[in-house]
Structure 1
């Protein structure tokens, strides 16, 4: 029999700022993860509905266009796809209404350090291999 082919592991970036999204993508392309970029929470959820088994890492901004913000997105992801390692980022400190952010979501204030992002992505890739 042939070998079982593992699906490509994905880092899903959700950021509406073109330059910041490009920087995050360039950084994450240095990992073993395939990079997929989206500009809204709704677009990210559409991708997850179709490819959730491939997504190992979610890197999302708090402030996003459309109806859902990044916090809404990470709440949904933690419930529906709990294996996805999740990082939420913002140029502002967390607001008081984020007290109910899932405790296993990491927050990184912008400007984030490249090494911190890479370490989270590597943890996601390693955790995905174990599943």
Structure 2
């Protein structure tokens, strides 16, 4: 019999600024997450489409991204496909658009502690 690998939650980080994306990824990896990084909402949507097993527990996305789709549009798509997904939208500007129910908004600059707290909350809310 092979050994089973313990479940590790996955976080999807969608940010077009590589330094911010890397910082969030490092923080989440230290919180026992596997991390998938995307710089566009279109790439993230493909990840979510393939996540039929529900491994992705946390999505953190900037509003302004590379590509045509915004982070707000991605948040709506993510909520539609994965209603239990913990979704955070972040921006350095005031948010003019409505977010899907249950979605959190972080104004930049956020702190590393914000990321760590959200990582813990997403894992506590997970049925696994």
Q: TM-score, normalised by structure 1?
A: 0.88
Does residue 124 of the first structure (1) align with residue 125 of the second (2)? Answer: no
Give the superposed CA RMSD: 1.9
**Secondary structure at 1:66 match in 2:** coil
Q: Would you say the 8 A contact 1:10–1:56 is kept in 2?
A: yes
Q: CA deviation at 1:49?
A: 1.1
- Residue by residue over 1:50-96, the C-alpha shift from the partner in whole angstroms, topping out at 9 and shown as x without a partner, is 1241100000000011110000000111111111101000111112x
Matched pairs, number:
127
Q: How far apart, CA to CA, are the structure 2 residues paired with 1:5 and 1:25?
A: 21
Q: Would you say the 8 A contact 1:32–1:125 is kept in 2? A: no
Partner of 1:104: 102
In structure 2, C-alpha distance between the alignment counterparts of 1:27 and 1:78, rounded to whole Å: 24
Structure 2 unaligned residues grouped into runs of 5+: none
Shift of 1:23: 1.0
Under a length normalisation based on structure 2, what TM-score does the superposition of the two structures give?
0.90
Partner of 2:46: 46
The reply on whether 1:20 has 2:16 as its aligned counterpart is: no
Give unpaired runs (5+ residues) of structure 1.
Answer: none
Aligned to 1:80: 81
Q: Which of the pair is proportionally richer in helix?
A: 1
Write the distance in 1 (CA, Å) between the matches of 2:24 and 2:5.
Answer: 28
Determine if contact 2:61/2:71 at 8 Å carries over to the other structure: yes
Query: Per-residue deviation at 1:2?
Result: 8.5
Higher mean Cα deviation, 112-121 or 10-19? 112-121
